[in-house]
Structure 1
Amino acid sequence: MKQLEANNTAYNLFYRFRLQGFLNINALQKSLAEITKRHEILRTNFISVNGQPNQRINNDDKFNLPIIDLQAFPNEKRGKELEKIVKQELDYNFNLSKDNLFRVKLIQLNTQENQLLFNIHHIIFDGWSFGLLFSELESLYTAYCQGLTSPLSSLPIQYADFTLWQKKYLSKDVLETQLNYWKKQLAGSLPILELPTDYTRPKIQTYKGATKTFILSSELTKKIKAFSQGQGVTIFMTLVAAFKILLARYSGQEDVILGTATAGRRIKKLESLMGFFVNTLALRSNLSNHLSFEEFLTQIKQVCLDAYAHQDVPFEQLVEVLQPERNLSHSPIFQVMFVLQNTAMEELELPGLTVSSLETSRKTSKFDLTLSMEENDEKLRGEWEYNTDLFHCSTIERMTTHFQVLLSEILTNPQENIWELPLLTQGEKQQLLVEWNK
């Protein structure tokens, strides 16, 4: 809990929407109140009891939507005030035991334009939950605008029920079996991924970060899909294999652990429930110098399938059991993460309004480096989240180029040795040649 709180905004989930048109504020307020009433987790705090986090549900389900009216400000000042409010939210440090962890604000700019801000702590929410939030908000707002009652069916269980079920499910036998797998998988000295950095690594891990996006062409995306299908693997497995090769080539290390996330909603009842269900998995593999890409992909497939079969042990519990040698300069077990979003994020739509999501550049990074990818309009979109105390933007741009070159080469020649697959562009090769001949 201290790690999640201590001047650390890396676990804040922030969304910002522009609402153009006439907004029924009463219907919006009523909709958000109903959502917080339905989902106890949105009214939950976390207190420490004997060093262990415990949930405390606030039974007062009255929800008040803070409304900030900027209509009186002159045009030039209004924008500045708006950005000041947004920055305050982005920099907000949650107190998990006292604060409302589901923060919403409405900012009035004029009679036809508002902005809606969501700032939610990750401990009560995940990406899947956003889809549910937007879907429920649309259904409720539509009904309330028409003077109808809530069209939503009651929830079968609450998040606290899931927590109790999880403890019961992870009985001695199940827990022992799964922990034994991870103990074996993560036995011995755990490698620290030493990527070449632009700046000296701080003695204590910082969470300062930035993001950089890129898009793989529809042609390359199509080829990745066809190749994966032909190899009997998922797109996720192909991308993980390629990304691991990139990390190995950058670091010169053969033993690489990569973090990833699972939705953690294997029970049907959990699909309609907001909360934090995501679990983290550590994918460890050996990139010995005699492997072809196809051989390495086979290894990655097995590593992924085994990890999925043992995905129920909470990662925090695994860290406690393994007790890896702690170094405050980096996260334990792995330092780089890969995530593939294979279902499109639900978009917020409200009747009578034009709703647009506003990009807000994050200034935090949970790990040294995270690569998140999602399929969008038949193209794979990637986003790097990188620690700015370690990497310069130009390094991330170069890494993007090398990743794209590597993917193209893999698809052209999957029998090639993983350490000999080209990474450099023609321009970079030419530049090296010129410098070599000087």
Structure 2
Amino acid sequence: MSISRQFSTPLGSARRFLHTARKTSMTKKKLVTYPLCAGQQELWDMERRFPNRGLYNNNAAWRLPRDISPGALRRAADRVGARHPAWRSTFHEGEEGPFQAVHDGVLADFREISAAEGADLEAILEEQASRFVDLEHGLPVRWILISIRGQAPVLLLIAHHIVTDGWSAVTAITELGMFYQEETGGARADLPLPARNYAEFIQEQADWLQSPAGERERRFWREKLSGPLPMLDLPTDRPRPAEPSFRAECFPFAIPAALQRGMRGLAKDAGVRPLTPWLAAWFVFLRHFGGREDLLTTMPVAGRGQEYVGVLGFFVNIMPIRVRCSGADTFRAFLQHTAHALDPVLFRQNRPLPPLSRDMDESTFLSLSQTNFSWHDFNYFGRRDTPLVTAWGPMSDLWHVGGMAWELLRYWHEPEETDICLWIMNLPDNQYGILQYASDLFDRATMERWSGHFLRLVEGTIKAPDNKISQLPLPTETR
């Protein structure tokens, strides 16, 4: 989700809606309803601006064992939904603003598709993933089991971004596996209900935004984002269209083991977080291709405290990071500069960016939507002896779910308003990269070329971190 929308929508009073009763078309029972959080409000506004286009259908797909039981998998999906109100909610526009209604006793939207031998799996995945999710009249999450004759089945999870994020997806798949194991006669899924719920998160967020601490945050971000923000002059393959499609494609690329070790060594020697050398290299890369020394990128952060770790919902925050990258600086010095810029952002990661739209113009929104850096750390999930996700080749994942091994076929994908994003996938036993790019602007061949340039730059920072940035191995390819 672009940070431009995160700034653009004011949050209404939560107290007037929380725990009130309304009726919806799905059921005649009185329902528990509550308002939308700041991020949900922005997604709701975008859905109404671009209706019936499936813009925010986050999705991922896994290859399952051939002997999977569809009935047990369906029952497991029902139990995941029963635990999490956000995944059995509908969304509506009321007199005082939009609200979400929680439906009890609703089974999961679980579908099965059978296809003849030789059917095009990728075409089926793409067609299903692009289907509109009707937030007002249906559930925001779909489970689709695809069986092609002669092949192992595939599970496609589609969840509207308004009720999920990457952390929620990992949690849901973990719980699905545990429930499946119990449904097929295995170990009991001993999962206590989360101590907190999403409605409490919304209330806490609203209270905080209206508090003195929330006002201090407004002042902090106004200062950080004051004045004209940098706009990169990235060399696109096509001009920017007047009406963007928001379609994004992914180009995965392997990171050699020597570079993985080298970047960990740089971080250790500098006393910074493991992600910081990668972020610093990304800034150097953007400096070269974007033609600016004043740089700004955004980074998604979990947006949830420890008390909400097991809750499914939309928590993620998109945070801006701004640095000055001079060619006269050494990479080692710039690494420390990047760490100093990153620290206050991560300190604030569990709090939403206050709505600042009245202070921002369209050029500011565009600057905040150009680039993104995303650090996907799967080391947080699973146990040290049995991690949830491990490497399956140099650029793919194997998910250990309910005593089974599921091969990830389709990355957790979402439409993007940013022009280009760098993902670093940090597995317990491997790292690889993904360039996610706006297909309106870039070709896949460009991303293949740029990934090679980026890896050569990384190699140069490891070999000679005391070289000036202007001396690092950057491509002769110009803007």
CA distance in 2, matches of 1:147, 1:223: 43
Change (3 A) 1:364 1:276: closer
Q: Secondary structure at the residue paired with 2:275?
A: helix
Residue of structure 2 in register with 1:281 after alignment:
319
Number of residue equivalences: 416
In the TM superposition, what is the alpha-carbon distance from 1:149 to its structure 2 partner? Answer: 6.7
> Structure 1, residues 226-248: CA drift from partner, whole Å, max 9, x if none?
11111111121111111111101
Residue of structure 1 in register with 2:79 after alignment:
34
Change (3 A) 1:331 1:94: farther
CA distance in 2, matches of 1:415, 1:50: 61
Conservation of the 8 A alpha-carbon contact between 1:12 and 1:121: yes
Q: Secondary structure at the residue paired with 1:419?
A: helix
1:152 and 2:191 correspond:
yes
Conservation of the 8 A alpha-carbon contact between 1:367 and 1:386: yes
Residue of structure 1 in register with 2:419 after alignment:
368
* Equivalent position to 2:328, from 269, 290, 293: 290
Residue of structure 2 in register with 1:223 after alignment:
262
Conservation of the 8 A alpha-carbon contact between 1:143 and 1:151: no
Change (3 A) 1:381 1:170: same
Conservation of the 8 A alpha-carbon contact between 1:20 and 1:112: no
Conservation of the 8 A alpha-carbon contact between 2:323 and 2:338: yes
Matches within 5 A, 1:11-160: 11-49=56-94, 52-63=97-108, 65-70=110-115, 73=116, 75-76=117-118, 79-80=119-120, 85-109=124-148, 113-146=152-185, 151-160=190-199
- Consecutive unaligned residues of structure 2, counting only runs of 5 or more, are 1-43, 382-387, 389-398
In the TM superposition, what is the alpha-carbon distance from 1:194 to its structure 2 partner? Answer: 1.9
Residue of structure 1 in register with 2:360 after alignment:
323
CA distance in 2, matches of 1:335, 1:99: 33
Code of the aligned partner of 2:296:
I
In the TM superposition, what is the alpha-carbon distance from 1:283 to its structure 2 partner? Answer: 0.4
> Structure 1, residues 393-434: CA drift from partner, whole Å, max 9, x if none?
22222221221121122222222222332213xxx69xx9xx
Look at both structures and tell me which one has the larger radius of gyration over its CA atoms. Answer: 1
In the TM superposition, what is the alpha-carbon distance from 1:39 to its structure 2 partner? Answer: 0.2
CA distance in 1, matches of 2:191, 2:75: 14
Residue of structure 2 in register with 1:300 after alignment:
338
> Structure 1, residues 196-250: CA drift from partner, whole Å, max 9, x if none?
1121121233313321111221111111111111111112111111111110111
Residue identity over aligned pairs, in percent, reads: 24
Change (3 A) 1:343 1:108: closer
Residue of structure 1 in register with 2:438 after alignment:
387
The root-mean-square deviation of aligned C-alpha atoms, in Å, is 2.8
CA distance in 2, matches of 1:354, 1:380: 19
Change (3 A) 1:282 1:36: same
Change (3 A) 1:83 1:391: closer
Change (3 A) 1:414 1:63: closer
Change (3 A) 1:406 1:354: closer
Code of the aligned partner of 1:62:
L
1:349 and 2:401 correspond:
yes
Bigger shift: residues 139-148 or 107-116: 107-116
Code of the aligned partner of 2:328:
H
In the TM superposition, what is the alpha-carbon distance from 1:386 to its structure 2 partner? Answer: 0.8
Change (3 A) 1:109 1:265: same
CA distance in 2, matches of 1:309, 1:57: 32
CA distance in 2, matches of 1:284, 1:304: 9
Change (3 A) 1:391 1:273: same
Conservation of the 8 A alpha-carbon contact between 2:145 and 2:155: yes
Change (3 A) 1:220 1:342: same
Code of the aligned partner of 2:126:
K
Residue of structure 2 in register with 1:188 after alignment:
227
Residue of structure 2 in register with 1:435 after alignment:
none
Change (3 A) 1:341 1:31: same
Code of the aligned partner of 1:335:
Q
Code of the aligned partner of 1:303:
A
CA distance in 1, matches of 2:286, 2:237: 16
Change (3 A) 1:235 1:8: farther
> Structure 1, residues 69-123: CA drift from partner, whole Å, max 9, x if none?
44xx4x34xx15x555423212112233333211112234459943322111112
In the TM superposition, what is the alpha-carbon distance from 1:372 to its structure 2 partner? Answer: 0.5
CA distance in 1, matches of 2:273, 2:417: 26
- Consecutive unaligned residues of structure 1, counting only runs of 5 or more, are 433-438
Residue of structure 1 in register with 2:375 after alignment:
340
In the TM superposition, what is the alpha-carbon distance from 1:50 to its structure 2 partner? Answer: 6.2
TM-score normalised by the chain length of structure 1? 0.86
In the TM superposition, what is the alpha-carbon distance from 1:24 to its structure 2 partner? Answer: 2.9
CA distance in 2, matches of 1:318, 1:168: 14
Conservation of the 8 A alpha-carbon contact between 2:59 and 2:412: no
Change (3 A) 1:361 1:57: closer
CA distance in 2, matches of 1:149, 1:232: 43
